[in-house]
Amino acid sequence: MTRPLSVGVAGLGTVGTGVLRLLRDNADLITARAGRPIAVTAVSARDRTRERDVPTSGLRWYDDPVALAFDPALDVVVELIGGAEGPARDLVHAALAAGKPVVTANKALLAVHGAALAHQAGEAGAALAFEAAVAGGIPAIKALREGLAGNRISRIAGILNGTCNYILSAMRERGREFADVLAEAQRLGYAESDPSFDVDGIDAAHKLAILAALAFNRPVDFAAVHIEGIRGVSALDIAFATELGYRIKLLGIARRTEAGIESRVHPCMVPQAAPIARVDGVLNAVVAEGDFVGRVMLEGRGAGAGPTASAVVADLIDLARGRATPVWGAEAAMLADLPAVPMSAHVGAYYLRLMVVDRPGVIADVTAALRDAGISLESMLQRGRAPGEAVPVVLVTHESNEAAMRRALDQIAAFDTVLEPPALIRIEPV
């Protein structure tokens, strides 16, 4: 039998133990598909005494993950530590410097340092594989880099964070506010004790930066991603969205335009009939549009031990078979230096909710501010009368320029009849 592929795993948390379990439970199937056994022979984790539901006896143990990289008996290093800096980055640098292929689930590391790591991998002639870094068990990376390789991709969009999708789904289904549902998500283990990376859109932005690099044949550029989270979405906005025929989703969207690449993460109103609008709970979805294939949508579990381990092992099988592709789908010299389009240049329709004092002349002032900014209205909703008290007013615009909308909002927010910052949500046709 062909010699087993010897693997070292750094990080034995949820995903790391999931990888060990998958390799053990599906060993026969994996051997058949890899053409050789895949065996974890060394590990690194901070706590040797922690109880784990997979056996680790007989494995070489390294307290220092960087030392794992230099184990001469290892063929591949799997990095499951997480984080853009510190031990994870040091381990990947060390493994590539040693000429060892690396498999990682670390979206933050790739989004922030992916260009440098790709250069290092190319210089070393070592593969850097990261199917597990985006959308968990959904094969989004392989779809873009391999399955759709013959297409010119014009747009990629997706629900890239299960925590946010769960919160927004629960808010809609139960009519509850963000803070209540977030607390529930934390109790259920869907959200971290510090949920900032998820609810502020950073996690989704890391993933979008990776997808955009692959989709548009360009170096990864996390700094170019416009990021907004879901803290400002209220139960009232979700109710109005339903009335207008929309659902609110946190989407990552990257689009090729004549001016360059637009990439953004923010809450969106999407038509209820759109397939992505029906992706609820902790599920993820990725939509790609190619010139020959048309529109392709992938949906599934975006996190957790099983789905993420599935993606890690898929990369290990590729390495066992000797299959490898350039990190960003093409050699560095062939990547396009496309400019980033600023958010101020975005053009689209908008939902705008105001809490105003119900008295004559308020709506006239608001519509005048929009008119002066060159923004036209498609519709307006106002429910009931409460003279002298606060009432919600909802405005839906035709396609408008982001910079113009921001100027109008600054003027509207300064009116003494507008009692809280205006709520703005972009409308996406998806």
User: Which sequence positions are flagged as catalytic?
Assistant: 207
Distance, C-alpha 383 to centroid of its chain: 36
DSSP string for 130-197: -GGGSSTTS-HHHIIIIITTTS-EEEEEEE--HHHHHHHHHHHHH---HHHHHHHHHHHTSS-SS-HH
Which amino acid makes up residue 200? D
User: Other CB atoms closer than 10 Å to residue 359's CB: what's the count?
Assistant: 11
What residues pair up with 298 in beta bridges, in sequence order? 286
Distance, CA of 135 to CA of 328 (rounded, Å): 17
Q: Which of 115, 118, 116, 156 is nearest to 263 (CA)?
A: 156
Contact (CB, 8 A) for 205 and 133: no
Distance, CA of 55 to CA of 322 (rounded, Å): 29
Distance, CA of 13 to CA of 269 (rounded, Å): 36
Task: Report residue 145 as tokens.
Answer: 């880099």
Collapsing DSSP to helix, strand or coil, 347 comes out as: strand
Contacts with 319 (C-beta within 8 Å, 6 or more apart), sequence order: 5, 75, 76, 101, 103, 127, 129
**Helix (H) or strand (E) run with residue 349 in it:** strand 347-357
Collapsing DSSP to helix, strand or coil, 304 comes out as: coil
Q: Is 263 exposed, middle or buried (0-12, 13-18, 19+ CB in 10 A)?
A: buried
